[in-house]
Structure 1
């Protein structure tokens, strides 16, 4: 359980870094929608998806390349939980891209309303 909790903390902290995306995306989309600029809405959504996917891919690459170093922020290298945290983090890492696309999609929907 400790390994899963440690990996979950790392994932949630990395995901928290992207918490600015919904606020920025919804605001930009609402502004473009209020002006009646459908092309502007589409551009704002595309830019937000691009930024989100870029951040997710970089984070995913870091998690796959250096899981021990990333987990060392919450666990010592010789902790028994590291044995369980590493595989859980690697599996959880696959969720970064879909999670950020979902986050941007939800904020785009909010901005259009």
Structure 2
């Protein structure tokens, strides 16, 4: 009897881990796309800024000043966003996993 209970418990843990890993993969995929956007967005903004400088002209003194301000702003912003994304990502993984596990348990009890 104890062996059946242990096999059942091990199967449950394996199922829960499978659900947790599936949720983690889904959230990681979305967050990877978000991080890629975060990497390319400043490059695009600065590229458009350089095009505007070339088209409308500017003094060389102010170009480096604006680039430095933009770069510092981006670093400050991302130093706040990236840790927040980690916390939000873990929270979403846990919530999705709990919902899926709750759904499985509810379906089993419904039978």
| TM value normalised by structure 1 | 0.46
Higher relative contact order (CA 8 A, sep 6+): 2
The structure with more helix, counted as a fraction of residues: 2
Q: Whose Rg is larger?
A: 2
